[in-house]
Each structure stands twice: as structure tokens, then as C-alpha cells.
Structure 1
Amino acid sequence: MKLKALLASGTIALACLAAPASHAAGTLTVALHQDPGNWDPVATFLVSWGAVGSQIFDGLIMRTPDMKLVPGLATKWEFLDKNTKIRFTLRQGVKFHDGEPFDADAVKFTFDRLLGDEGKKGPQQSNYTSIDKVVVVNPTTVDFIMKSPDPVLLTKLAGYGAMIVPPKYVKEKGSEYFGAHPVGTGPFKFVEYKPKISLALEKNAAYWGGSPKVDNLTYRFIAEPATQAAELQAGRVDVANQIPLAMVDTIKKDPKLAVVSMDGPVALALRYNTKRGIMQNRDVRKALTLAVDRDAIIKSVLLGQAKPIASFQGTLSFGNDPALKPLPFNPKEAMALLKKAGVKPGTQIQLDFRGPDSNFREVAQAVAGYLQAVGITVTLKPYETNVLLNDIIPNGKTGEMWQNQWGGWTFDYDNTAYAMYYTKQRWNPFDDDAKLNALLHQQRNTWDQAARKDTLQEIARYVADQSLEMPLYSLNTVYGINKRAKDLALPADGRFRFVDARVD
């Protein structure tokens, strides 16, 4: 069956957002597909937060674009007492943007808050529950006392929930105010936030890592990839983090613009609601996966800017098993399994997806076409992204299938698998599997990386055997850029850090 025959025809309206025709040479403007809605490090899990967070905040450890862990607010660390204690020596002379000094008390406050009642309100706490407590040794030294081994801890300390926050400011202003007026130690300082429109930052000339080379950094929240591309072409943004793949060649031909594409951590799958209707049957779930030609989707819809996957992770992920192959496209076997399961032709199911994502909309249309060919009628239901992620999925309100997209920012399958498959986690509203829970605990309870890798690969095989999801592909990270922007150090994981960036 030809893929193009499966895709619904239509056009994308380019609704250009109001913005100045040009901007000052000292300002770098970045388009993001999503406003995370809260700049508090404990309140978010979104890649779009990460694209901003490392400008405002620092962690004890930082990760470079080439994936190396380097000193951040900690200048060194060492494991003590048979790996049950990790001692961090802190950088001296650092101040938060409001003038408050950074010290051991700030580190302790940050993690007490993350692991306490405030952290419970957000999605980050579960990443750090291996930490029992943080003990202040002296103003420049802290010890992390561990409840259990955490082989991914150092990587996690380089991002998201572990960003260090100012105790006095948070206590005086409160978490709600802090979430809309963030203060950190990072290279850029908060200026103004207009929800769903923009975020303005200015350089922190006193930054401990050296003053940024641009004076101002502006983020514009533009949900539609086509609109991001239009704004890039008009010269109103310098970096676009999502552009329609069909426009890649057009942008490349513009002498003022360029496209950067690289292997990325973002994986996509269609998760199955195993508590609803025909999806309770494992053979049905397997049949639907067999019915979809994912290689053709990658070639024709994504124009080769993705790679097929057999589990919910890309090739760069620790725990990826190259021996585990995706189920082949086999509609004949799919129809046989559906018939055996008693599924009648014309059976209807619902597929929920992020409405503003025009690239995935075409993927969803293709999937619906393939499933129609084996007798399953699919209703596509788009949601505003924050509604899908903050209400529909975590509260178990999905249809039979939903778009599951994960940034995989640790490049470690642990971070993905635990969040997706462990009982009662935010992204697992339906399944309660004792074997999966035990395997997930097992790989988290050792510092032995070889043993972890074996267990993570076993988890991937088990998830595939149970057909808990339809693995689709891992996306290349694709940026559209204006060539006037230099030294951007564009990262595979979308977590920008523009300290050395400059604009002509």
C-alpha cells in the first residue's frame, strides 16, 4: 500500500506572529514550540524548560554538548563510605542574580525542597529519591547521603530538577512567584515573562563562567512548526527548534539560513491503553504494531530525519539493545491476529496526539490509514499539548492509543523506562506489572554499569513482548538557524546554553 494514499490532504496556514522586522545585533531570538508555564526547576519535565533552564540556573554538575560531565557549581566530587556518601566541593564567590550568595546552605535548601512537600507537587522528585539527605559540612562542602545506589545521579544533577535555587528569595517570594520570576546563578538573568508569548533575559555580566557575548536573549513561544519556519525566513528569529521537515530543503536554499540535523534523544511511540476495550488483549496490541509500516513513514513523512526503534529509546541511549529489532510490517499477520482475537472489521479506536505538532499530525494520519487497511477505524483527537500532558495522560483519560514522546535527556533508558512503566508513575496511568517493577528496581540498585545495561535491555525486551506500545522512531534533532548567529553550540538534547553565542 502506498503511504501517500493514506495521508489526508490539506494545507498549513502560516499565521505569522507580530514581531519587529529586525532586532538589535546584541539580541539572540529563539523560537520554542512550547511554553512550559512554570520556571521553577521542581515543577517541570519538558524539553522546552531545558532549552531555557540552563541559561538561568546552574546545577552542581554540567553536561557539555558532546555529552561530557564537567564541574558546574561544584568544582569536584568524590564517593565516600562504600558509595553511600558523595562529597561535593562548591565553587566560591558565586552569587545568585539577586545578590544572594551561593553556598552549601543553598544546596541543602534546594534538595530539601525538591525531596519535600514542594517537590511532591511536580514530576521531578521521583528522579532523586535515592538521596536520603544533604548534609552541610562547611560553607563550601556538602555530602549527599544516599538511601540506595543511583548510577544515573551525576547525570541527573546536571539538569532540570537539580538546578540550584536561592533560599532567601524563594522563602520571601513564595513558589508561585518564583515560578514566574526565576532567579538563579546562570549566565542570563530574568527580565520579563509573557505567558504563551515570550520570555526575555539579559546577560549576567558577573557570571562565574564569563560574561555572555550577547546582551539579550529572547524566547518566543510558537507552537506551529510552519510558523516557526516563516518567522525564521522573515528574519524575526535566529534559531527555530521545530520546523516542518517538508521545508528543510527550502530553508537550506536560503543563503541567509541553514539547517542543523543530528542524532537526538527524542523517541516517539504510540502507547496503548491496556485497560480499554480491545487493547486489553496483547495479541491485538501486537497486531496494530505489525499493521503500520514505520519505515515508510520515516521515509515519506519524516523525509529520513528519524530512525526506526524497537524500544522507547534511540541508539545513543544507554540500555539500547541493537539485537532487539522492530516488528516488521506484516498486515497479513496483523489481520490474522485480529481475527483470532475476535475483533470485527470496522472496530473503532481513538488516537490522542499533540494538536500543534504538524509533523506528528501527518504521522498520525498515516497510522490511521494503515490501521484502516486491516479493519480498524481510527478517530484522531488533537489536544493542546499542556492539556494532553498535564491532564489527559496522567489522569488516565486517554483513548485507546496516545502519542508518547520523551526527550530522554539523560541518554539513559532508566529515566525513560521508570517514568513510563513503573506502577503509578505520571506517564503510566494504567499498567501495574510486578515483573517490570522488580526489573526497574534491580537496575537502579547497583553502581555496576554492565549489570545495569543487561537489566535495561531485559526491560526493553519484556515491554516489546507485552506490546505495551507501538515504537515509532527516534527523531533527529533539527534546528533552523539564521547564519548571523554564531557559536551556538547546538545540543542534541535541546538544552541550549548560549554563553559563547554571538550575533552579527
Structure 2
Amino acid sequence: MKPFQLKTLIAASSLALATLLTPSAQAAGTLNVAIHQDPGNWDPIATFLVSWGAVGSQVFDGLIMRTPDMKLVPGLATKWEFLDKNTKLRFTLRTGVKFHNGEPFDAEAVKFTFDRLLGEEGKKGPQQSNYNAIEKVVVVNPTTVDFVMKSPDPVLLTKLAGYGAMIVPPKYITEKGSAYFGANPVGTGPFKFAEYKPKVSLSFTKNADYWGGAPKVDNLNYRFITEPATQAAELQAGRIDVANQIPLAMIDTLKKDPKLAVQSMDGPVALAMRYNTQRGIMKDREVRKALTMAVDRDAIIKTILLGNAKPIASFQGELSFGYDPALKPLPFNPAQAKAMLQKAGVKPGSTIQIDFRGSDSNFREVAQAVASYLQGVGITASLKPYDTNVLLNDIIPSGKTGEMWQNQWGGWTFDYDNTAYSMYYTKQRWNPFDDDAKLNALLHTQRNTWDQAARKTTLQEIGRYVADQALEMPLYSLNTIYGLNKRAKNLALPADGRFRFVDATVE
């Protein structure tokens, strides 16, 4: 080898090594995404978390799919129709589709999925209650199934595009078991599971045989990064292409970086401070109303959230079916709040505890502001951060909360039914304290009809009733905000956080 050839080879090798060691290096055809939480189980029936939804549609398909612009379109079913006066829903299934392990998708797979969801296995997770209106799934032939309904479910089609209704492989689960499946998911979706490192990362490769067309990128990597500031730092360093949580205070900084962009849009996520109505001073409805009036929610939106949210009077935003524009939030009136507390016999210096997700730095500032406002009317609030999974899987469902807790809901159906039923119906997972016969009846009434106009009226009545009972301090509907590296294109970013990167490319 001649000297100049050796020098050239050394230079090329050095350049390649430097590229590998550079933090911003990005392999061609690889998309890196940061999400804030590891749900810990990738079985569709095992979770309710938005962070699961951010991944689930990559590996699984439902009979129906929902596009980023909220339209319901064919998924594993090519068409559907109601039979027998809305008591039976028939699906015609897509042919030639296979699960990632090679087993065929057919009517038996659909029946297995819903038998499992509605059976003993489904009881272990939080998804079953969303589908209890389904009595059974009947196989008509290999490409046709009928859903026989116990009762109407006016949100059923949307739910069939949702988390729990993703179709799963019968043979794989039967042979491997649910625990193995939860850590090694197999579906029919555009990406195949490659590797899962709990609380660290999750990797996929493209499904070249995907029925909807092969993804444009070869690899899709998720990293679980709980702190928004860390997500932003990784975005700036070029190590991720999409951040699903960034500190609001860094939005302007990220926008000024020519390599980066920030996208903020109306989303389904509502936040509130839920009241423990069985504890201490919170048993009194007038006290709960007083505490709500003691907090300037508009100021919080303006100063802490920098305008990336909207005030709410019920636990839903404007995109939700059932939203009532005539229902207004209780006004900020600390003087009246003080008077109401005094009338209720609440002594100045009374103490309460506010529980919140410790990893949520944006909400930590909100919680601190709420505590400061409450101090202004004589209530001393201590803040107790929890690991998110502990708060959601133990503290709240078990009724171990303090007087108030961070209540956050994705509202993925964009229908108040899913939110309200989960939050307020007796003995639901997110309702550890309240048992209200009138509220139960209203919730049942709207769920038991296909009449959408009648439902809307009832849902608005539910919103007014919950506000009158002051079951929570409604705070705001939060914008969905993404931090982006501009080299990632065609991301089709969804308002509900449920990514589907089939058409994404990386330059």
C-alpha cells in the first residue's frame, strides 16, 4: 500500500470513528423518540397510559384505526355494519395479514382477543370496563365476525381503535403466556419488537411485509426519559428526534435552534386537583368550592404554562364530545373563599397534603403555585411527590391519597363518557371515594343509548353536576407539545400522543 493510500485510509477511519462518537450522530433510517414513562407491560389489556399509546400503534393494529385528524378508518377490518337494530355489529376482515411471528390474522384471532379482554385475564387490567357492553364475539367465517352487544355503546367504534382492542396473536400468547407477551409483544403493526430494556429503552425494526405498506425508516427506538429537561437536553444534543415532554420555559430556546422545532396543539389532556371527599375538611362541599376559588388558574396558565393551556370548568377540554361552553369555571375570589372557609368552621393554619407525579417538573410548579394560593386563604398545603407508577397503580386506586391529588387524564376517545365514567362511577379505578347514586344513573343513561344528541345533553348535565359537587378543582386543558429535530420528516404528530411513524423519514 502506498503512503498516500495509507493516509487516506487512516483519515477515513478516523472520520468514521469520530462520527460514531459524536453525540449528535444519527444512523440513516433510524428514528429516536423520547417518552416520559415506561408502562412496564406491552400487553394491550394491561394498561391505560398515554405512554403505552405512544408505542402501541407501532406494533399492534385494531379493527379500526384513527388518523391524526381524528377520522375513523379501516384497520384490520375493511368494513363494518350494524345488524339487528344495533344489537349486532358485523366486521369484514382484511385478508392475507400475518402477525410478526408468522401466524395468520383471521376471525379466530379477533375472537381470542376479545374473549381474553372480557374474561379473567382482562379483569387483571384497567381496560375491560371500556368494553363491557360487548356480550361476545361470534365467528361467522374466517373473514367475518359479529360483535353481539349486551347494551348500546355509543363510543364503541372509537374504542375499537383504542388501546385494549388491539388484536393479539392467539398461538403466541397460548404458548408463551401473558407475562412473556407483555415483555415481548407481537402484533400485526408496521414495526416488529426487537429489544426491551425496562425503564431504559424499547427498540423496533420495520415490518417489511406490513399490510399498509412498509415503514420508511428501518429502525425505531424509544427511550424512557422521565424529566422534561433531560428530554430537551437530549433533543439539543441530537440524540433524539422527538421529545414528548419538554419544559415549557425552554420552548423559546428550542425554537431559536435552527435544527429544532416545537409544535403545540390542542390536546385531550385535562388536569385537575381531585379532592379526597372522605378526608378531613374535604368532606364539606363548600370547603372544596372555597379552595377552588382561592386559586388563580388563569394566572397559572399565563405565567407557568406560558399560554399552552386553556381554562376548564369540568374535567375535559373543548375537543371533548360533551363539552359545555356555557359552563364557566368558579371565579378566582380569595376574599369570598376566606369567608366560606370561616363559615364552614375551617381554622386558619389547617393543613392538607397534595400528591403529585414527582417526575412531572411542569406540574410541580403548578402544585407549588396552588399551595401558595391556598396559603393566602389560611390553608397550609404540603406537597408529596410520588413515582408515577406508584401513584397511579397504588396510591389513587387504593384510596391512600392525601386531601388533594394531581388528576390527569388523556381522554383518548375525545368523548366525556370515557373520562366521566372512569372518574366518577362507583368503584371505578379512579374513583376510590365517591358513591353517588344520581351521578351513577346519569352516567348509565348516556352510555345506554346510540342517540348522540341525547348523550350530549346528559354529558353536559354530568359536567354541571360534578362542578356543583366540587369533586375536583378543574385546572386546565393542556396543549400537546412536541420538541422535534427538523431532520425527522412526515411525523404526522397526533393530538392524543399516539404516534404512528409509518411514513416518517430521517434525513
Q: Residue in 2 aligned with 1:432?
A: 435
Equivalent residue for 1:82, pick from 67, 85, 97: 85
Q: Residue in 1 aligned with 2:12?
A: none
Could you tell me how far apart the structure 2 residues matched to 1:19 and 1:271 are? 46
1:418 equivalent to 2:413? Answer: no
Deviations 1:233-281 (A, max 9, x none): 0000000000000000000000000000100000000000000000000
Return the letter of the residue paired with 2:138.
V
1:46 equivalent to 2:49? Answer: yes
Could you tell me how far apart the structure 2 residues matched to 1:66 and 1:337 are? 45
Q: Residue in 2 aligned with 1:353?
A: 356
Percentage of pairs with the same residue: 85
Please report the TM-score for the alignment, with normalisation by the length of structure 1.
0.96
SS of alignment partner, residue 42 of structure 1: coil
Return the letter of the residue paired with 1:82.
K
Shift of 1:22: 1.7
Assess if the C-alpha contact under 8 Å between 1:106 and 1:164 holds in 2: yes
Equivalent residue for 1:488, pick from 469, 488, 491: 491
Q: Residue in 1 aligned with 2:451?
A: 448
Could you tell me how far apart the structure 2 residues matched to 1:488 and 1:254 are? 19
Q: Residue in 1 aligned with 2:99?
A: 96
Shift of 1:19: 10
Deviations 1:284-329 (A, max 9, x none): 0000000000000000000000000000001000000000000110
- Unaligned runs of 5+ residues in structure 2 are 1-20
Could you tell me how far apart the structure 1 residues matched to 2:160 and 2:292 are? 36
Q: Residue in 2 aligned with 1:177?
A: 180
Could you tell me how far apart the structure 2 residues matched to 1:181 and 1:139 are? 27
Q: Residue in 2 aligned with 1:307?
A: 310
Could you tell me how far apart the structure 2 residues matched to 1:310 and 1:24 are? 47
Could you tell me how far apart the structure 2 residues matched to 1:25 and 1:260 are? 24
Q: Residue in 2 aligned with 1:128?
A: 131
Assess if the C-alpha contact under 8 Å between 2:93 and 2:107 holds in 1: yes
Q: Residue in 2 aligned with 1:3?
A: none
Q: Residue in 1 aligned with 2:372?
A: 369
Assess if the C-alpha contact under 8 Å between 1:202 and 1:217 holds in 2: yes
Could you tell me how far apart the structure 2 residues matched to 1:427 and 1:22 are? 43
Q: Residue in 2 aligned with 1:9?
A: none
Return the letter of the residue paired with 1:125.
Q
Return the letter of the residue paired with 1:233.
Q
Q: 1:341 to 1:145 in 2, by over 3 A?
A: same
Could you tell me how far apart the structure 2 residues matched to 1:197 and 1:434 are? 44
1:329 equivalent to 2:332? Answer: yes
Could you tell me how far apart the structure 1 residues matched to 2:367 and 2:76 are? 43
Assess if the C-alpha contact under 8 Å between 1:270 and 1:401 holds in 2: yes
Assess if the C-alpha contact under 8 Å between 1:19 and 1:236 holds in 2: no
Deviations 1:339-371 (A, max 9, x none): 001000000000000000000000000000000
Shift of 1:450: 0.2
Assess if the C-alpha contact under 8 Å between 1:291 and 1:329 holds in 2: yes
Shift of 1:23: 2.3
Could you tell me how far apart the structure 1 residues matched to 2:386 and 2:96 are? 47
Assess if the C-alpha contact under 8 Å between 2:23 and 2:237 holds in 1: no
Could you tell me how far apart the structure 2 residues matched to 1:181 and 1:416 are? 30
Could you tell me how far apart the structure 1 residues matched to 2:108 and 2:23 are? 44
1:393 equivalent to 2:365? Answer: no
1:115 equivalent to 2:118? Answer: yes
Return the letter of the residue paired with 1:301.
I
Could you tell me how far apart the structure 2 residues matched to 1:162 and 1:91 are? 16
SS of alignment partner, residue 86 of structure 1: strand
Query: Where do residues 103-252 of structure 1 align in structure 2 (5 Å cutoff)?
Result: 103-252=106-255
SS of alignment partner, residue 342 of structure 1: coil
Could you tell me how far apart the structure 2 residues matched to 1:267 and 1:34 are? 18
Please report the TM-score for the alignment, with normalisation by the length of structure 2.
0.96
Q: Which has the larger radius of gyration?
A: 2
Q: 1:187 to 1:19 in 2, by over 3 A?
A: farther
Q: Residue in 1 aligned with 2:295?
A: 292
Could you tell me how far apart the structure 2 residues matched to 1:482 and 1:23 are? 11
**How many residues in Structure 1 have an aligned counterpart in Structure 2?**
487
Shift of 1:20: 5.0
RMSD of the alignment, in Å? Answer: 0.8
Deviations 1:90-145 (A, max 9, x none): 00000000000000000000000000000000000000000000000000000000
SS of alignment partner, residue 497 of structure 1: coil
Assess if the C-alpha contact under 8 Å between 2:136 and 2:148 holds in 1: yes
Could you tell me how far apart the structure 2 residues matched to 1:481 and 1:401 are? 35
Could you tell me how far apart the structure 2 residues matched to 1:245 and 1:133 are? 46
Return the letter of the residue paired with 1:414.
D
Shift of 1:159: 1.2
Return the letter of the residue paired with 2:384.
K
Deviations 1:387-410 (A, max 9, x none): 000000000000000000000000
Could you tell me how far apart the structure 1 residues matched to 2:37 and 2:59 are? 18
Deviations 1:204-260 (A, max 9, x none): 000000000000000000000000000000000000000000000000000000000
1:472 equivalent to 2:475? Answer: yes
Return the letter of the residue paired with 1:384.
D
Assess if the C-alpha contact under 8 Å between 2:294 and 2:377 holds in 1: yes
Shift of 1:21: 3.9
Q: Residue in 2 aligned with 1:56?
A: 59
Of 18-27 and 64-73, more deviation after overlay is shown by 18-27
Assess if the C-alpha contact under 8 Å between 2:23 and 2:238 holds in 1: no
Could you tell me how far apart the structure 2 residues matched to 1:439 and 1:174 are? 40
Return the letter of the residue paired with 1:479.
Y
Return the letter of the residue paired with 2:204.
L
Q: Residue in 1 aligned with 2:18?
A: none
Return the letter of the residue paired with 1:406.
W
Deviating beyond 3 angstroms after TM superposition, the runs of 4 or more aligned structure 1 residues are 18-21
Could you tell me how far apart the structure 1 residues matched to 2:113 and 2:223 are? 29
Could you tell me how far apart the structure 2 residues matched to 1:235 and 1:499 are? 22
Assess if the C-alpha contact under 8 Å between 1:191 and 1:201 holds in 2: yes
SS of alignment partner, residue 371 of structure 1: helix
Return the letter of the residue paired with 2:185.
P
